[in-house]
Chain A
Amino acid sequence: MSAALETVHERIGKGYEAGFVTDVESDTLAPGLDESVVRRISQKKNEPQWMLDYRLKAFRAWLAMTEPTWAHVSYPAIDFQAVSYYSAPKPKKKLTSLDEVDPEILKTYSRLGIPLHEQKLLQNVAIDAVFDSVSVVTTFKEKLAEAGVIFCSFSEAVKEHPDLVQKYLGSVVPHTDNYYAALNAAVFSDGSFVYIPKNTRCPMELSTYFRINAKGTGQFERTLIVAEDGAYVSYLEGCTAPQRDENQLHAAVVELVAMDSAEIKYSTVQNWYPGDANGKGGVYNFVTKRGLCKGRRSKISWTQVETGSAITWKYPSCILQGDESVGEFYSVALTNNRQQADTGTKMIHIGKDTRSTIVSKGISAGHGRQTYRGAVKILKSATNARNHTQCDSLLIGSHAVADTVPYIEVKNASAVLEHEATTSKISDDQLFYCQSRGLDPENAVSLIVNGFCREVFRELPMEFAVEAQKLLEISLEGAIG
């Protein structure tokens, strides 16, 4: 290894910035999961009968399923009975403005740099903050209400818009879909609900932050976004988790539905606690995210920047059902220390003249292991389908590992698909060239990595792009070790 790289390697561990705990009274259920727990969750949330019925149906289905083990990740078995399934801080009343939020919680978010502050309101982002399973506050409701946009917590939607929730819940990810989806459908606590009416462009970017706080709690978020004909919405999801010794479980479900000519842009910047340098104490992240391009000319884009989580298992997918629908997936994933990620996307082409684009950039450092697992399926009905896939891996350090496993299945002969993948490393020559132009090693690496990720960062909403770049830099400083 060159001297330049060695210098870089020496600068280890800025440490996980967001690692701390908040002292707030939590209303936490004892660990364990059985039917009574499911009932209690529903009861605590004052849910109508149909919601409880749905949960119970899902729970019973979950009992009959077995945990999947095929991913290239290895982890000690999760004891589902040792996890608590509900934790809410105890607010006394329903909150409608920031002034009413428990200052401790505000401080937590402030330390995280998460914009639950007046400042942010000026920047036109509506926040629905989730704090350990319950939406803490939702701002900007009036402005959205004017446009006819519904943006509220899932719990609220169940009460205020039951017809909409019932119509779409489980329509994209049925509770029978997979093990974690079933679990989520049974014990989900909260999340976001977004509804954009016909021909409405949501006037602001919608954003949710959530955080797993209490020890041993799994977090089970449920998000549902529906865009009617001609609607547009850009939704941002960002997450952090504190430093804990035990691994924490996260099994979320996100469902997106786009009707004729509607567009949903879903961006995620994820900064879960990655486990310490020895892989102890991170977050298990099992997520099912799926978008249904139901209408003609509909479009769903997934953009994500992942830098954390001890184990990641997620495949944001698009089902291209409507004719001329478009699915996109842009991702930067960084694994470091002993993180493992088995991630990728699925594009299923069903309608005619559909198009999908996949750009996946993986940066693997330390002893990180990354697997890109993508599937592109062109069904028999999908005439004139088009796909372009680019998956690139950047390896930093001699212990990093990257796997690329794409599945391509074409059952309609008019399809055209192009797939490319490259694997490379930052070479001594590249570093030297940058330094000879005056950049220090850290900046040089930053520059090169940013160039590597450029295509993906370009897709992020402005709000997130800057944050994502900074996040990557911070993670990289620790990563080059």
Chain B
Amino acid sequence: MQEPMTDAGWGLRMAAAARFEALGWPTTKLESWHWFSTRALEDLDLSTPPETRNVPLPDLPSPRVVFIDGRFAPHLLSLGENTDALHVRALSDYDDETLASVVSRLTQDTADGALEQANLAFLTGGVHIVARGTSNPTLHIVHLTTNAGVVHARTVIELERHSSLAVMDHHIGLAEPDARYLHNLVTEVHVGPGAQLSYAKQISESASGSHIESLIARLDRDSRFSSFSLSLAAERARTAIIVQLAGPGAECSVDGLYLGEGKSQLDHTTEVRHLVPHTTSSETWAGVLDGRSTGTFQGVIKIAPHAIKSATRQLTRTLLLSEGAQANAKPELHIDCDDVTATHGASIGQLDPLQQFYLESRGIPRDDARRMLVAAFVRQVLALAPATLMPILKALVEARLGGEARVEDDDANGESP
């Protein structure tokens, strides 16, 4: 942040910097970082954000708040008719007292979350969103990175009682293929009683861009949170999602799709905590790994001792398309209460050769047949994405899969089935 800092501000940041210093970068000795190494990033200067290059911008959706190289871009802000129902402010607008009251209420001081401390210490920019009403348009948060450097971005989303909101978070790399950057993101989500948040994210970093993020959500009673994560490109990306079901009746759905190619490393680590009775969670993850990419899924479900009538299910499926692709999975259950239902499943495999032959025997050439089958695999998880965000997610996936692959059913005459 460029503004001169008050004592409160210094205190907040210095404390965070000291914590990061003490904890250090997370190493592969930590269980949850076992399959993701940060070694290649440790020479980056965490305090230096990228110097913005003049690059053509992609089409931007609306309403939106935009950050370029971590810095709020007021000239690109477009909120439409911003009413009392939705309050959107750049963190740089806040004085430090206010900032201290808004951030870090959910982050925890653990070795796993060391980079969350660095995020606060070197905060480049962020946004605070408060939703009050129920008829809010989908808000897009767009992060564009144009150059080498390190961005620390923070998003704080609060949904007040009975409000609802849809947010889509875009992380788009516009840097040169060899420009090494790190996008370090922390998202804090508070969902108030009876409120509903649909959240989706796309990660499309540049070829040498790395993305490490923590999303921490706390759900109050009877609230709903659905999160859909779409990881399309990055040299390496690790997404950590922690959901605390803290009020009875809370429900969450944490889903995602990742498509790896080249030497990409895509790591998704989730933790859902059932803290009180009568909460429900569901997780569905699908990975398609091509080239020499590696996909990792670690999903922890924790059910506390008195969280009776918790219901949880988790499913992860990984498709290995090429010889060099690798997959890791660790679906964990920690159940401290007997009156619950919990199931999880994980499968790793390839395209079904018999399905492939069936398509080929009808004249569909091999590549097209494979694309169709990959699209079929993918659409089953894509169907779980929040309805309002579905079209944009689908378009992104189709663009990435290429060729004739169509993820959506389409009635040939244009009607939806």
Touch between chains A and B, by CB atoms below 8 Å: yes
Q: A: which residues have CB within 8 A of B?
A: 393, 395-411, 413-425
* Bound-state Cα–Cα, A404 to B350, Å: 26
Q: Which of B322-356 contact A (CB under 8 A)?
A: 322-350
Does A425 lie within 8 Å of B339, measured CB to CB? yes
A selection of 16 A-B contacts at a CB cut-off of 8 Å is: A393-B333, A401-B334, A407-B328, A408-B328, A408-B346, A410-B348, A413-B289, A414-B323, A415-B349, A417-B346, A418-B345, A418-B347, A421-B344, A423-B341, A424-B342, A425-B338
Hey, which chain B residues are within 8 Å of A399, CB to CB?
305
Hey, which chain A residues are within 8 Å of B326, CB to CB?
410-411, 413
Shortest distance from the beta carbon of A105 to any chain B beta carbon, whole Å: 42
Does A406 lie within 8 Å of B331, measured CB to CB? yes
Number of B residues contacting the other chain (C-beta, 8 Å)?
A: 35
Q: Does B320 contact A (CB under 8 A)?
A: yes
Hey, which chain B residues are within 8 Å of A400, CB to CB?
338
* Bound-state Cα–Cα, A414 to B321, Å: 9
* Bound-state Cα–Cα, A404 to B35, Å: 19
**Which chain B residue lies CB-closest to A388?**
B347
**Which 5 residue pairs of A and B lie closest in terms of their CB atoms, listed nearest first?**
A395-B338, A413-B320, A416-B349, A423-B342, A408-B329
Q: B: which residues have CB within 8 A of A?
A: 35, 289, 305, 318, 320-350
Q: A408-B346, A419-B331 are in contact. Are A413 and B324 (CB under 8 A)?
A: yes
Does B348 lie within 8 Å of A404, measured CB to CB? no
Does B339 lie within 8 Å of A419, measured CB to CB? no
Hey, which chain A residues are within 8 Å of B335, CB to CB?
393, 395, 401-403, 423
Does B332 lie within 8 Å of A417, measured CB to CB? no
Does B328 lie within 8 Å of A403, measured CB to CB? no
**Which chain A residue lies CB-closest to B341?**
A424
Out of A398, A404, A413, name the residue touching B339 (CB < 8 Å): A398
Hey, which chain B residues are within 8 Å of A397, CB to CB?
338
Hey, which chain A residues are within 8 Å of B328, CB to CB?
407-410
* Bound-state Cα–Cα, A311 to B369, Å: 53
Instruction: Count CB-based A-B contacts (< 8 Å).
Output: 105
Out of B320, B338, B344, B347, name the residue touching A396 (CB < 8 Å): B338
Does B348 lie within 8 Å of A420, measured CB to CB? no
Hey, which chain A residues are within 8 Å of B336, CB to CB?
401
Hey, which chain A residues are within 8 Å of B347, CB to CB?
416-419
**Which chain A residue lies CB-closest to B320?**
A413
Out of B325, B332, B340, B341, name the residue touching A406 (CB < 8 Å): B332
- Can you name 12 extra interface pairs (CB under 8 A) apart from A393-B335, A420-B345, A423-B341? A395-B337, A400-B338, A401-B334, A402-B335, A403-B334, A404-B332, A411-B326, A416-B347, A417-B346, A418-B345, A418-B346, A423-B340
Hey, which chain A residues are within 8 Å of B321, CB to CB?
413
* Bound-state Cα–Cα, A396 to B335, Å: 12
Shortest distance from the beta carbon of B103 to any chain A beta carbon, whole Å: 33
Hey, which chain B residues are within 8 Å of A420, CB to CB?
343-346
* Bound-state Cα–Cα, A403 to B330, Å: 12
Shortest distance from the beta carbon of A277 to any chain B beta carbon, whole Å: 19
Hey, which chain B residues are within 8 Å of A406, CB to CB?
329-332, 346
Q: A420-B344, A421-B343, A423-B340 are in contact. Are A413 and B350 (CB under 8 A)?
A: yes
The residue among B325, B326, B333 with the most chain A CB atoms within 10 A of its own CB is B333
Does A402 lie within 8 Å of B333, measured CB to CB? yes
Q: A398-B338, A421-B343, A424-B341 are in contact. Are A410 and B327 (CB under 8 A)?
A: yes
Shortest distance from the beta carbon of A284 to any chain B beta carbon, whole Å: 23
* Bound-state Cα–Cα, A393 to B342, Å: 10
**Which chain A residue lies CB-closest to B300?**
A405
* Bound-state Cα–Cα, A395 to B328, Å: 29
The residue among B324, B325, B346 with the most chain A CB atoms within 10 A of its own CB is B346
**Which chain B residue lies CB-closest to A415?**
B348
* Bound-state Cα–Cα, A399 to B306, Å: 9
* Bound-state Cα–Cα, A418 to B346, Å: 6
**Which chain A residue lies CB-closest to B34?**
A407
Hey, which chain A residues are within 8 Å of B329, CB to CB?
406, 408, 419
Q: A398-B338, A411-B326 are in contact. Are A403 and B349 (CB under 8 A)?
A: no
Does B330 lie within 8 Å of A408, measured CB to CB? yes
Does A419 lie within 8 Å of B345, measured CB to CB? yes
Shortest distance from the beta carbon of A68 to any chain B beta carbon, whole Å: 14
Shortest distance from the beta carbon of A404 to any chain B beta carbon, whole Å: 4
**Which chain B residue lies CB-closest to A410?**
B327
Does B333 lie within 8 Å of A403, measured CB to CB? yes
Out of B305, B320, B323, B332, name the residue touching A410 (CB < 8 Å): B320
The residue among A395, A410, A415, A417 with the most chain B CB atoms within 10 A of its own CB is A410
Hey, which chain A residues are within 8 Å of B334, CB to CB?
401, 403
Hey, which chain A residues are within 8 Å of B350, CB to CB?
413-414, 416
The residue among A393, A404, A413, A417 with the most chain B CB atoms within 10 A of its own CB is A413
* Bound-state Cα–Cα, A399 to B339, Å: 11
Q: A413-B324, A413-B325, A413-B326 are in contact. Are A419 and B346 (CB under 8 A)?
A: yes
Shortest distance from the beta carbon of B325 to any chain A beta carbon, whole Å: 5
Shortest distance from the beta carbon of B133 to any chain A beta carbon, whole Å: 40
**Which chain A residue lies CB-closest to B318?**
A410
* Bound-state Cα–Cα, A425 to B334, Å: 15
Does B332 lie within 8 Å of A403, measured CB to CB? yes
